Each structure stands twice: as structure tokens, then as C-alpha cells.
Amino acid sequence: MTTAEPPGADQRMREELGGRIAALRKSRSMTLVVLAAKAKLSQPFLSQIERGRARPSMPSLHRIAAALGTTTPALLSDTGANPEDDSHSGNGRVSLVRVNEGRMVSQVDGQAKSLVFGARAMYPMEFVTQVTEFEDFYEHTGEEFMYVISGQLEVDLADDGLFMLGPGDTLYFGGGVRHRWRTVGAWPARVLVTQAQPIAATANISEMHI
């Protein structure tokens, strides 16, 4: 997660992510105004995201993905690859992501990085989070598995309980369970999160042409 990226990599990845959002929006016959309203974002800000001139926060990206009928990991999974490397084939049986590759979203409170390329049945992501206060709940139809690598994390599953997790602890919950987290203590938490992708959403992503 902390490996230095080559110059211009962040801008290139923002442009790739923005292009995927724009392509999926157009495939849904949605205007910028309609998608912005569904994602609870301003139309100018969404336009900046699609053109790679603005970096969406994770909550914003989650709302965009939900409005498009997909998920954040699916949007992130097919950007940041080296097109000359056959092991990055988006529709192949094998996906290799090197330590300095993968689509990363960086924020003041941490980073999120996709650990797979292409449309997949499950989407592993690595999070380094310094969020100390609970944000809005996330909710999606796919099941989710969490493994804490380092740090302390408090996970709120709404009606399903509040859980304190430390290094080596795991947590699994089904689709439709509202969830959010925050770090506890002085250090960031590093977490591996794997999310199952609904079949319909996987098909939608694999049908995109940019």
C-alpha cells in the first residue's frame, strides 16, 4: 500500500476510473444529472470525476457504484493494469496484481486498493484506514469477509452487533447487512476485505467497452 507509484500514475488511474464510470453510465442511458442525483453528488463534481480531474471519496464512490447497479470493488478491479502483461487479462482465469499495481483510492483518512483485475466472482481489497469516527452505513447485496492484518478496528453491523477486531481476527457477514467501521487506538488499521459480487453486477461490468 505504501509503495511509491511512478510519476503520473495517480492521474492515469483517476482517468481510467472516471472513464469506467462514464462508460457504465452511458450504457445505462443515464445523464450526468440523473446519476449525480442518484448518487447524491453535484453534477459538476461528478463531471470532474468522470474526466479524471477529481478524486472521489470512498463514500462517494460507493454511492456512484450503487446508483449504477454495481459495487465499488467491481469499478476498481479493472483499472491500473499493464495492458502489455497477459497475466492481467480482465476476462482470463488468472489475475496477477504486483505490489505497485492495482487501482488505489487515496484519502486523508486512508487508502483502498483493489487486489484483482477484471470481472470476478469475488473482489479482494486492501484498506489502510485511519477513520476514527463512524461514517454512514454501507450496504450491498454481496457477502463480505474481513481479515484484520494490523491495528484495531471496531465494526458496527447495525442490528447484527458491534464487534472489536484485532490482528488475526476475521468477520463474515451476509449481503444486505448494513456495516461501517472505525479505528481504535493511535495507529491505522490495515484490513483485507473480500466482497462477493452479485452475478448480475459482474455481467454488467464485463459487458462494458471503453
What's the DSSP call for residue 167? Answer: T
Domain count, the chain: 1
Beta strands in the chain (DSSP E): 104-107, 110-114, 122-129, 144-150, 153-156, 162-165, 170-173, 180-183, 189-196
pLDDT digits (tens, 9 = 90+) for 16-32: 889 989 999 999 999 99
- According to the model, what pLDDT value does residue 147 have? 98
- Is the Cβ–Cβ distance between 97 and 69 less than 8 Å? no
Quote the pTM value: 0.77
Q: Which of 60-64, 73-77, 181-185, 206-210 has the lowest mean pLDDT?
A: 206-210
Question: Is 3 among the domain residues?
Answer: no
Return the closest-CA partner of residue 141 out of 176, 173, 171, 172.
176
Could you tell me where the DSSP H helices lie in 55-98? 58-67, 72-76
- According to the model, what pLDDT value does residue 8 have? 61
What the block records as the C-alpha cell of 44 is 459538476
CA 113 to chain centre: 7
- According to the model, what pLDDT value does residue 198 have? 63
Return the closest-CA partner of residue 203 out of 11, 81, 38, 27.
27
Distance CA 155, CA 116 (A): 24
Question: Is 165 among the domain residues?
Answer: yes
- Is the Cβ–Cβ distance between 155 and 162 less than 8 Å? yes
Question: Is 4 among the domain residues?
Answer: no
pLDDT digits (tens, 9 = 90+) for 35-69: 999 999 999 999 999 999 988 888 888 899 989 98
Q: What is the CATH number of the domain that holds 119?
A: 2.60.120.10
Question: Is 47 among the domain residues?
Answer: yes
- According to the model, what pLDDT value does residue 86 have? 46
- Which residues constitute the domain of residue 73? 9-206
Question: Is 156 among the domain residues?
Answer: yes
Question: Is 166 among the domain residues?
Answer: yes
